[in-house]
């Protein structure tokens, strides 16, 4: 008999193994980084407001910091098996920030295409 309180469906009856979850997290992160970098290179910086550009720049900085932390994290795993959980949690957090910045860049790109004026970014 199926669980009458399971609102998530049968897809979530068996949780993924740690290895599967780790592979999925890395794949999502890698995909987000690739999309972010492609948009970042072509970002019409002058079309961003100061607040928008700060979000994009912060996401870029966090990707750099994530790579550095990952290297340290892999060393920590040798001494603390729970470090893997912190690494995955960090990947998820940064992936969400990247996705947010990607969405923002897409909105700015659409706004720029529709020729709707906005407050230009002074650094651009």
Tell me the pLDDT tens digit for each residue of 17-71. 888 888 998 899 999 999 999 999 888 888 899 999 999 999 999 888 887 887 7
Q: Flag whether 20 is in a domain.
A: no
Residue 100 has pLDDT above 60, yes or no: yes
Domain extent at residue 53: 49-115
Q: Is 32 within a domain?
A: no
Specify if 91 maps to a domain: yes
**pTM of the complete model:** 0.72
What integer pLDDT is reported at residue 123 of this predicted model? 43
pLDDT value at residue 87: 84
Evaluate whether residue 81 is within a structural domain: yes
pLDDT top residue among 90 and 114: 90
Q: Does residue 101 sit within a domain?
A: yes
Any residues with CB less than 8 A from the CB of 24 and at least 6 apart, and which?
Answer: 16
Would you say residue 123 lies in a domain? no
pLDDT for 107 equals 92
Average pLDDT over residues 88-92: 88
Query: How many independent structural domains does the chain possess?
Result: 1
């Amino acid at each position: 008999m199926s669980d009458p309180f399971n609102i998530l469906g049968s897809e979530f009856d068996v949780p993924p193994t740690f290895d599967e979850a780790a592979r999925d997290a890395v794949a999502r992160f890698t995909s987000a980084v690739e999309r972010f970098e492609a948009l970042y290179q072509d970002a019409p910086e002058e079309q961003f407001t100061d607040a928008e550009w700060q979000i994009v720049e912060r996401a870029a900085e966090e990707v750099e910091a994530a790579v550095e932390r990952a290297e340290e994290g892999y060393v920590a795993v040798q001494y603390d098996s729970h470090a893997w959980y912190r690494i995955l949690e960090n990947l998820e957090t940064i992936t969400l920030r990247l996705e947010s910045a990607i969405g923002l860049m897409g909105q700015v790109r659409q706004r720029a295409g529709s020729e709707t004026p906005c407050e230009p970014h002074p650094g651009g």
